[in-house]
Structure 1
Amino acid sequence: MLLIILNSIFFLAFVVFAYFNFNDKDAWLWVSIYLAAAVCCVLAAFQIFLPVVYLVLILFYLVYATALFFARDGVRDWIIKYKHPSIAESMQATKPYIEKTREFFGLLIISAALAINYFATANFLS
């Protein structure tokens, strides 16, 4: 039951996140990223598990998150160079490090949701 509730919350959140990304210049990428995770979560809520898909997506998301971490004006620069100012003051990302840091944390959230489903699959199928 907890897995159904959790996946329903993730599904709704990822659909909202995808909606917020429609106006970005790279909307095709971010809408796809969030909708792929949303589909995985809604299927898991109905106890349809896709462990191989979870692993492929997690790998892609973590590789992309690593690239954002080390990118110029990425998360590392946000921490070290810019002294980690708030990334939540405004919905508009006015500086590149804000956009990349938000994207980085979004990828980590998605990866965690899919990891929960991956490990739930092992428990569900056993």
Structure 2
Amino acid sequence: MKFFKIVFGLLFMLFAYFQFNDPDSTVWIFTYSAAALACYMSVNNLWPSWVFYVLAAGYLVAAIFQWPPQFEGIFFGEAQMRSINIEEARESLGLLICCVAMVILGKWGIPKIED
């Protein structure tokens, strides 16, 4: 499980790095940095599981609101952005990845205290 936490923490840091050229980069850098921080906190067992569930709920709500009005996929071949719907679908997918990671951290990331 520690491997999962480290890999996803690094992945979220990479996601945050890729947002520097985005027009709304501050929002997305904070979003992915918070997910990376959560992975770090889980590696060190510093947060209880309910914190990860609250984060997961927040990411899920954000993903639902971010979903484009018309889904056109997430891939395109041109160098320019063909449609804002593609960008919103990608952002929504990123939020869903954060949500799934937080659920996993909340469910299996915290060691159980044995009596």
TM-score when scaled to structure 1?
A: 0.77
Work out which of the residue numbers 103, 109, 112 in structure 2 matches 1:125. Answer: 112
Work out which of the residue numbers 89, 94, 109 in structure 2 matches 1:106. Answer: 94
CA distance in 1: counterparts of 2:60 and 2:87, whole angstroms: 17
Aligned residue for 2:22, secondary structure, equals: coil
CA distance in 1: counterparts of 2:45 and 2:78, whole angstroms: 37
Report 1 or 2 for greater relative contact order, CA contacts < 8 Å, sequence distance ≥ 6: 2
Unaligned runs of 5+ in 1: none
Work out which of the residue numbers 49, 54, 76 in structure 2 matches 1:56. Answer: 54
Specify the alignment match of 1:66 in structure 2: 64
Identity between Structure 1 and Structure 2 (%):
31
Unaligned runs of 5+ in 2: none
Aligned residues: 113
Does residue 16 in structure 1 map to residue 14 in structure 2? yes
Work out which of the residue numbers 34, 37, 42 in structure 1 matches 2:35. Answer: 37
Return the letter of the residue paired with 1:125: K
CA RMSD of aligned residues (A): 2.1
